[in-house]
Structure formats: C-alpha cells, structure tokens
Amino acid sequence: MVPLSSLQPGSKGAVGRIDIPVTQRGRLLEMGLLVGTTLELVRFAPMGDPVEIRLRGYHLSLRRHEADQIWIRT
C-alpha cells in the first residue's frame, strides 16, 4: 500500500486504510471515501495542495496532509 499523495495523476487504486483521526474521519466517510472504494488521482493543484480525486462518479478535493494518511492498494 502507498499513500494517496504518492500516486501519479491518472493512477487508480482502492482505499486500503484511513489513518485520519476518528474525529476528522466522519466527513470523509459521509462523502463515500470508505475502505475498499476505488478511486483515481486526477491532479495536484499547482502548489501541490489540494489533491483532486475521482470516486463514485464525482470529484473530491483533499488537503495534502489528509492524502498522506489515506493508504491505497494499487
């Protein structure tokens, strides 16, 4: 498994683990970012933050520090 932030644009994988603290994880779970969810890294913003991903038919932007804590099975 690799951190989401280390993927290259266009790479796909499935969420293997989410290490974000429980108090902050709820927002991501409500948006459909669950273990086992398939996603694609779309792009990084010009300064590297935020990160845009595509999952479940929509686009979601995450802060880089959040993407560092989401582990992906490629």
| Tens digits of residue pLDDT in 55-65 | 999 999 999 99
Token code pair at residue 58: 């929509």
Q: Quickly state the pLDDT bin for 36 (edges 50, 70, 90).
A: very high
Domain 2-73 classified CATH 2.30.30.90? yes
Q: Is the pLDDT of residue 16 over 90?
A: yes
What letter represents residue 72's amino acid? I
Q: What is the 3-state secondary structure (H, E, C) of the chain?
A: CEEHHHCCCCCEEEEEEECCCHHHHHHHHHCCCCCCCEEEEEEECCCCCCEEEEECCEEEEECHHHHCCEEEEC
What is the distance between the alpha carbons of residues 14 and 34, in angstroms, rounded to a whole number? 9
Full-model pTM: 0.89
Q: Is the pLDDT of residue 74 over 90?
A: no
